[in-house]
Amino acid sequence: MKNNSITSSEFNFPNQTNVYHGKVRDVYSIGEEYLVMIASDRISAFDHILPKGIPYKGQVLNKVATLFLDATRDIVPNWLIGVPDPNVAVGYRCEPIRIEMVIRGYLTGHAWREYRAGKRVLCGVTMPDGMVESQAFPEPIITPATKADEGHDEDISREDIIAKGLLDEQTYSELERITRALFQRGTEMAAERGLILVDTKYEFGFRNGEIMLMDEIHTPDSSRYFYAEGYEERQQKGEAQRQLSKEFVRQWLIENGFQGLEGQQMPFMPDDFVEVVTDRYIELYEVITGDAFERVDNSEINARIFQNTVDFLKDNKLV
């Protein structure tokens, strides 16, 4: 079986009105009401797409996101209608809210890099003195970011969001409430699988005036997980935590002289590193779902995606 990856798509679905190619997902508008979201095997870090696709990554993201979207419908409605293919989700079109709701339970990643540089306020939220990397915050902190079409998302405070008229105070407060509830649910589900949900981000939109959860949630692209077993011992010894996320890809890039800064060149990705990334994504899927990952036949992945999606749209009278 050939393990091809899908790194680009140029489909023409029935009643297609637009297509948007994101860093990882390709989003096709179907009429005015529906979207087809293709989870590609592209991988991005530091807001740059890496030169090689990661086989099965899109399938992992799609299946994990579906699991959590289905498990959180009691908290907030979401955009998902169905999953016609391992790499495809079909759902409702929403008017995007241009703010990413980032929530952090532990001091790591971007927050740790800021903290280590001496900053104690992130997005208007004060972080306590005396913390160490990977330590839990007294309670999770919300550190929003403006959603950029291109380039870097920018940190922003609650006060600035409201002052700039990006959202009114009532809507933003509701997003905070939903964000905390989603993070709590994700934390509980991760704990059942021996994981710690460290930090994550959520994207929301409006449909018929109602707030809806969009895109992916609690996937290794949008979230960071630690293994719970051995967490305390590693903290006490000052050792790095075992984690399931794409942070290891960022670390590999940093070690190879790339952080997305001007003048830096993307390093060559050897095939054995690509295999390691695939294995890490599959590992996360199996740990968080408790199910064995099934490597579907990707030998004709584009043709498969197109036919499965068209059949779903017609069968469900979406076109």
In a domain, 43, yes or no: no
**Structural contact between residues 213 and 72, judged by C-beta atoms closer than 8 angstroms:** yes
In a domain, 104, yes or no: yes
- Cα–Cα distance list, 100 to 144, 172, 175, 179, 223 (Å): 6, 11, 10, 10, 13
Short-list 312, 259, 250, CA closest to 280: 250
Short-list 268, 124, 288, 258, CA closest to 192: 288
For 142, the domain range is 96-244
Sorting pLDDT into bands at 50, 70 and 90, what band is 2?
Answer: very low
Q: Own/partner pairs for 145-152, CB < 8 Å, 24+ apart?
A: 145/99, 145/100, 145/102, 145/201, 146/98, 146/99, 146/100, 147/96, 147/97, 147/98, 147/99, 147/100, 147/203, 151/47, 152/47, 152/260
Q: Is 226 helix (H, G, I), strand (E, B) or coil?
A: strand
Q: Which H or E run contains 285?
A: helix 271-289
pTM of the model: 0.89
Q: Are strands 145-146 and 136-142 parallel, antiparallel or unpaired?
A: unpaired
Sorting pLDDT into bands at 50, 70 and 90, what band is 1?
Answer: very low
| Overall domain count for the chain | 1
CA R_g for the chain: 20
Dihedral sign for Cα 91, 97, 102, 103, please. Answer: negative
Say which residue the tokens 């960071």 belong to. Answer: 224
In a domain, 25, yes or no: no
Predicted pLDDT at 148: 66
Provide the strand spans (E) within 107-144. 121-122, 125-126, 136-142
- Looking up residue 177, the CATH number of its domain turns out to be 3.30.470.20
Average pLDDT for residues 293-303, to the nearest whole number?
A: 92
In a domain, 199, yes or no: yes
Q: What angle do CA 9, 10, 13 make, to 5 degrees?
A: 110
Predicted pLDDT at 4: 81
In a domain, 91, yes or no: no
**Structural contact between residues 220 and 246, judged by C-beta atoms closer than 8 angstroms:** yes
Instruction: Report pLDDT digits (tens) over 116-173.
Output: 999 999 999 999 999 999 999 999 999 999 976 655 679 999 999 999 999 999 999 9
In a domain, 76, yes or no: no
Average pLDDT for residues 94-107, to the nearest whole number?
A: 96
Q: Which amino acid, residue 73?
A: R
Residues 6+ apart with CB under 8 A from 312: 82, 84, 85, 88, 90, 318
Sorting pLDDT into bands at 50, 70 and 90, what band is 220?
Answer: confident
In a domain, 163, yes or no: yes
In a domain, 304, yes or no: no
